Structure 1
């Protein structure tokens, strides 16, 4: 039997973000917010991340720069942690953040560096 997109998304999400994060997100979902959790799991993780055209390191770096551009600190921290799990080095994260700083602006880049540094420092301990 072929893996459903929802099952594939749950598996990939757990591989990238960890069981603890996924379990906490699912447990904290209310009846009101559960549909968006299901949507994210199936489409973000099952469809987008489930496509093998780009490797996970590349996807992680893309997400980091998109979160800088969108000024989404929480998601940037989450995806920085996932990037490290996907084998992205701190130096590669720095290079992506420099790129984002040039194209998204210095204030966005500075905030991105602050957010990513907090994760890289924490994970390095």
Structure 2
């Protein structure tokens, strides 16, 4: 019998989250962890990243594209900012992000897309992709 711990969806999820968002993100996430929000953080790591993002059916770039579109439709700017960062890590170009948001404008409405453009522009500027 091996002494090693078998990978769980939770630790797989944490690894994937770190690959997508970087170690600084994990440090900030851990610093914000408390007795109240720990269950949600664990759920996110285990289910969202450990089960869904770990699946083979779509690559990470495709998942990022879908998430940007959905978060635009749902008008979730904080999560959108994180997923724009992740999309860049996953190989999305600035032009592709722009096109995703423009496509969303047609189906989600101009107010939602306008907010998403604002959020994405801030992330892209902060990451050095825009002047």
Q: So what's the TM-score if we normalise by structure 2? A: 0.92
Q: Structure 1: give runs of 5+ residues left out of the alignment.
A: none
1:28 to 32, 37, 60: 32
- Max Rg structure: 2
Alignment correspondent of 1:79:
83
Counterparts of 1:52-71 in structure 2, within 5 Å, are 52-71=56-75
Between the aligned partners of 2:56 and 2:125, the Cα distance in structure 1 is 30
User: Which structure: greater helix fraction?
Assistant: 1
1:6 to 10, 14, 18: 10
| TM-aligned CA deviation for residue 2 of structure 1 | 4.3
1:120 to 100, 121, 124: 124
2:52 to 32, 37, 48: 48
Kindly tell me the number of residue pairs found equivalent between the two proteins.
Answer: 125
Q: So what's the TM-score if we normalise by structure 1? A: 0.96
Task: Give structure 1 regions of 4+ aligned residues with deviation exceeding 2 angstroms.
Answer: none
Between the aligned partners of 2:106 and 2:13, the Cα distance in structure 1 is 33
RMSD (Å) for aligned C-alpha atoms: 1.1
Q: Structure 2: give runs of 5+ residues left out of the alignment.
A: none
